[in-house]
Structure 1
Amino acid sequence: MSAKNALNEIKRSLDGLIGEKIVLRANGGRRKTIERTGILEETYPSVFVVKLDNQGNSFKRVSYSYADILTETVELMVCKDDGNNIRITYVEE
């Protein structure tokens, strides 16, 4: 499967999750991992936007590319009402 198809598949899976509460784990550099929670607000052709919960963050919204998920620079976990987390990753077949 080509990278372009993989990115389209990631976008399609996120399109159905708009409005869901998610947990982001992102590489912060120098062996730091940043974890934030928020709502998946919008998906665009190249990026997706997350509105962050107010926890003293200096940013209200962050955006990441679908390639960040493909390269595992960013991990997404969807928080469902029943307390279960569903992890979004891409596995090439």
Structure 2
Amino acid sequence: MPNSIAKIKELLNARIGQKVIVKVQAGRKRVNTLHGTLAKTYPAIFIVHLNSSEDDLQRVSYTYTDLLTHNVSLAFE
């Protein structure tokens, strides 16, 4: 991932609609992995629609700062 919020926003705007694997830090040694599609970007957040109903979640949102601080990582398929 790029090292500035503006570059992260540009990268995600160019990839709307693509399948993505989201890895989220859930604790000291726990990582949650979610599969979905990058749905929409907003000025402060981006939304991922999930493929399956894991824990009854249909969509999740994260901030660009989460990507910058490596609390969330994205891998495009």
Common fold by TM > 0.5: yes
Unaligned residue ranges in structure 1 (runs of 5+): 80-93
CA distance in 2: counterparts of 1:26 and 1:56, whole angstroms: 14
CA distance in 1: counterparts of 2:57 and 2:37, whole angstroms: 14
| Corresponding position of 1:74 | 72
Give me the TM-score of the superposition, normalised by structure 1. Answer: 0.76
Q: How many residues align?
A: 75
1:15-69 deviations in Å (ceiling 9; x for gaps): 0000000000000124210000000000000000000011443210000000011
The Cα RMSD (Å) is 1.3
The structure that is helix-richer by fraction is 2
CA distance in 2: counterparts of 1:19 and 1:29, whole angstroms: 29
Distance 1:56 1:71, change over 3 A: closer
CA distance in 2: counterparts of 1:48 and 1:10, whole angstroms: 11
Give the match's secondary structure for 2:75.
strand
| Corresponding position of 1:64 | 62
Deviant stretches of 4+, over 4 Å: none
- Residue 19 of structure 1: which of 7, 17, 20 is its match? 17
Give me the TM-score of the superposition, normalised by structure 2. Answer: 0.91
Unaligned residue ranges in structure 2 (runs of 5+): none
Which structure is higher in RCO with an 8 Å CA cutoff and minimum separation 6?
A: 2
